[in-house]
Amino acid sequence: MESLEEILGRHPFFAGFEAEHGRLVAGCARNVRFAAGQYLFREGDPADEFFLIRHGRVALELVEPGRPPVVFATLGEGEIVGASWLLPPYRWRLAARATELTRAIGIDAACLRGKCEADHHLGYAMMKRFLPILVERLQATRLQLLDVYGKR
Amino acid sequence: MTAPDPFLPQPWRVERRRRELIGAVTLELAPLAGARPDFAPGQFNMLYVFGVGEVAISLSGDAERGTTFVHTLRNVGAVSGALTALQVGASVGVRGPFGRGWPLAEAEGADVLLVAGGLGLAPLRPALYAILARRERYGRVVIMVGSRSPEDILYRRELEHWRRRPDLEVLLTVDHADADWRGHVGVVPALIPHAGLDPAETLALVCGPEVMMRFTANALLAAGIRPERIHLSMERNMKCAVGQCGHCQFGPFFVCKDGPVLRYDRIGTILAVPEI
Amino acid sequence: MDALPTTTTAAVLDRDGLQALIEALAARGFRVLGPLVRDEAIVYDEIAGVADLPAGWTDRQGPGQYRLERRDDQALFGFAAAPQSWKRFLHPPVETLWRVRQGEGGLLFSTAAEATPRYAFLGVRACDLHAIAIQDRVLCEGDYRDDAYARRRRGAFIVALNCSEAGDTCFCVSMGSGPKAAGAFDLALTELLDERRHEFLVEVGSAAGGEVLASLPQRAALDADRAAAAAVVERTAGRMGRQLDTAGLQALLQDNPEHPRWDEVAERCLSCANCTMVCPTCFCTTVEDHSDLAGGSAERVRLWDSCFTLDFSYIHGGSVRQTDKGRYRQWMTHKLSTWFDQFGSSGCVGCGRCITWCPVGIDITEEAAAIRATPHVQGGSHGES
Cβ B182–A99 below 8 Å, yes or no?
yes
Q: Are residues C216 and C131 in the same domain?
A: yes
Residue C269 near residue C324, CB atoms below 8 Å = yes
pLDDT score for A151: 60
Residue B92: φ, ψ to 5°: -130, 160
Q: Which domain holds residue A29?
A: 4-146
Fold of the domain built from segment(s) B10-98: Elongation Factor Tu (Ef-tu); domain 3 (2.40.30)
Residues of chain C in contact with residue B58, where contact means CB-CB under 8 angstroms, are: none
Q: Report the C-alpha gap between C47 and C218 in whole angstroms.
A: 21
> What CATH number should be reported for the domain holding residue A35?
2.60.120.10
CA B265 to chain centre: 20
Structural class in CATH, domain B104-235+250-271: alpha beta
Q: How many residues does chain B have?
A: 276
Q: Which domain holds residue C61?
A: 10-92+113-237
- In chain C, the number of structural domains is 2
In a domain, C162, yes or no: yes
- How far C166 CA sits from the closest chain B CA (Å)? 31
Residues of chain A in contact with residue B175, where contact means CB-CB under 8 angstroms, are: 72, 144, 147, 149
**Interface check A68 vs B, CB under 8 A:** yes
Nearest 5 degrees, angle CA A137-CA A143-CA A144?
Answer: 85
- Mean pLDDT over residues C310-323, rounded? 92
Residue A40 pLDDT exceeds 50: yes
Tell me the pLDDT band of C6, cut-offs 50, 70 and 90.
Answer: very low
- Mean pLDDT over residues B77-105, rounded? 96
Tell me the pLDDT band of A3, cut-offs 50, 70 and 90.
Answer: confident
Cβ B245–C284 below 8 Å, yes or no?
yes
Residues 225-264 of B with CB under 8 A from C: 227, 235-237, 239-240, 242-247, 249, 251-254, 257, 264
More confident residue, C264 or B2: C264
Q: What is the pLDDT of residues B96-151, one digit of tens each?
A: 999 999 999 999 999 999 999 999 999 999 999 999 999 999 999 999 999 999 99
Nearest to C35 by CA among C60, C59, C16: C59
pLDDT score for A1: 64
- Residues of chain A with pLDDT > 90, as a percent, come to 75
Domain ranges for chain B: 10-98, 104-235+250-271
Sequence letter at residue A66: G
Q: Are residues C276 and C317 in the same domain?
A: yes
- How far C329 CA sits from the closest chain B CA (Å)? 9
- Mean pLDDT over residues B22-32, rounded? 96
H or E element at residue C13? strand C10-14
Q: Report the C-alpha gap between B245 and B248 in whole angstroms.
A: 8
Q: Is B80 helix (H, G, I), strand (E, B) or coil?
A: helix
Residues 29-68 of B with CB under 8 A from C: 32, 48, 50-54
Q: What is the pLDDT of residues B202-250, one digit of tens each?
A: 999 999 999 999 999 999 999 999 999 999 999 999 999 999 999 999 9
Residues of chain B whose beta carbon is less than 8 angstroms from a beta carbon of chain A are 23, 74, 76, 117-119, 146-148, 152, 173, 175-179, 181-187, 189-190, 193-194, 208-209, 211-212, 215
* CA distances in angstroms from C306 to B194, C63, C378, listed in the order given: 47, 20, 29
Residue C15: φ, ψ to 5°: -60, -35
- How far C197 CA sits from the closest chain B CA (Å)? 47
The average confidence (pLDDT) of chain C is: 93
Q: Report the C-alpha gap between A5 and B251 in whole angstroms.
A: 53
Q: Report the C-alpha gap between C63 and C42 in whole angstroms.
A: 17
- In chain A, the number of structural domains is 1
Alpha helices in C35-171 (DSSP H): 87-90, 126-139, 147-155
Of B53, B76, B253, the CB nearest to C289: B53
Tell me the pLDDT band of C4, cut-offs 50, 70 and 90.
Answer: very low
Q: Report the C-alpha gap between C67 and C168 in whole angstroms.
A: 12
Per-state percent for chain C, helix, strand, coil, to nearest 5? 35, 25, 45
- Mean pLDDT over residues C44-68, rounded? 97
To the question of whether residue B256 is assigned a binding role by annotation, the answer is: yes
pLDDT score for C382: 41
Residue B4 pLDDT exceeds 80: no
In a domain, A117, yes or no: yes
The pTM assigned to this predicted structure is 0.92
Of B76, B185, B208, the CB nearest to A59: B185
Residues of chain C in contact with residue B253, where contact means CB-CB under 8 angstroms, are: 341-342
Residue B26 pLDDT exceeds 90: yes
In a domain, C2, yes or no: no
pLDDT score for C156: 97
Cβ A59–B215 below 8 Å, yes or no?
no
- Mean pLDDT over residues B256-275, rounded? 95
Residues of chain C in contact with residue B246, where contact means CB-CB under 8 angstroms, are: 283-285, 305, 307, 312
- Mean pLDDT over residues B139-166, rounded? 96
- Mean pLDDT over residues C133-149, rounded? 95
Q: Report the C-alpha gap between B246 and C281 in whole angstroms.
A: 12
In a domain, C77, yes or no: yes
Of B10, B54, B221, the CB nearest to C382: B221
Cβ B176–A61 below 8 Å, yes or no?
no
Any idea what DSSP says for residue C334? I
Q: Where are the beta strands (DSSP E) in C247-326?
A: 285-291, 297-304, 314-315, 318-319
Q: Report the C-alpha gap between B245 and B7 in whole angstroms.
A: 11
Residue B26 near residue B71, CB atoms below 8 Å = yes
To the question of whether residue B207 is assigned a binding role by annotation, the answer is: no
- Mean pLDDT over residues C11-15, rounded? 97
Q: What is the pLDDT of residues C174-207, one digit of tens each?
A: 999 999 999 889 999 999 999 999 999 999 999 9
Residue C350 near residue C178, CB atoms below 8 Å = yes
* Shortest CA distance from C292: residue in chain B: B51
Residues of chain B in contact with residue C108, where contact means CB-CB under 8 angstroms, are: 11
**Interface check B75 vs C, CB under 8 A:** no
Q: Report the C-alpha gap between A96 and B76 in whole angstroms.
A: 37
Sequence letter at residue C190: T
Residues of chain B in contact with residue C323, where contact means CB-CB under 8 angstroms, are: 275
Q: Is C172 helix (H, G, I), strand (E, B) or coil?
A: helix
First to last CA, chain C: 53
Residues of chain C in contact with residue B276, where contact means CB-CB under 8 angstroms, are: 257, 320, 326, 330
Q: Are residues C254 and C205 in the same domain?
A: no
Inter-residue long-range contacts of B255-259, CB under 8 Å, 24+ positions, other chains counted: B255/B99, B256/B56, B256/B98, B256/B99, B257/B98, B257/B99, B257/B100, B257/C142, B257/C143, B257/C144, B258/B100, B259/B99, B259/B100, B259/B233, B259/B234
Cβ B189–A140 below 8 Å, yes or no?
yes
Q: Report the C-alpha gap between A106 and A32 in whole angstroms.
A: 6
Of the listed ranges A100-104, B247-251, C272-276, C381-385, the one predicted with least confidence: C381-385
- Mean pLDDT over residues A12-32, rounded? 92
Q: What is the pLDDT of residues C238-288, one digit of tens each?
A: 999 999 999 999 999 999 999 999 999 999 999 999 999 999 999 999 999
Residues of chain C in contact with residue B94, where contact means CB-CB under 8 angstroms, are: none
Residue C101 near residue C297, CB atoms below 8 Å = yes
Of B12, B51, B242, the CB nearest to C298: B51
Q: What is the pLDDT of residues C82-136, one digit of tens each?
A: 999 999 999 999 999 999 999 888 999 999 877 899 999 999 999 999 999 999 9
Residues of chain A in contact with residue B207, where contact means CB-CB under 8 angstroms, are: none
Q: What is the pLDDT of residues C327-340, one digit of tens each?
A: 999 999 999 999 99
pLDDT score for A41: 97
Any idea what DSSP says for residue C117? P
Residue C89 near residue C121, CB atoms below 8 Å = yes
**Interface check A138 vs B, CB under 8 A:** no
Any idea what DSSP says for residue A46? B
Of B93, B236, B246, the CB nearest to C320: B236
Q: Report the C-alpha gap between A36 and B130 in whole angstroms.
A: 39
* Shortest CA distance from B178: residue in chain A: A70
Q: Are residues C159 and C274 in the same domain?
A: no
pLDDT score for C8: 58
Q: Are residues C190 and C217 in the same domain?
A: yes
Residue B136 near residue B223, CB atoms below 8 Å = no
* Shortest CA distance from A77: residue in chain B: B194
Residue C77 near residue C36, CB atoms below 8 Å = no
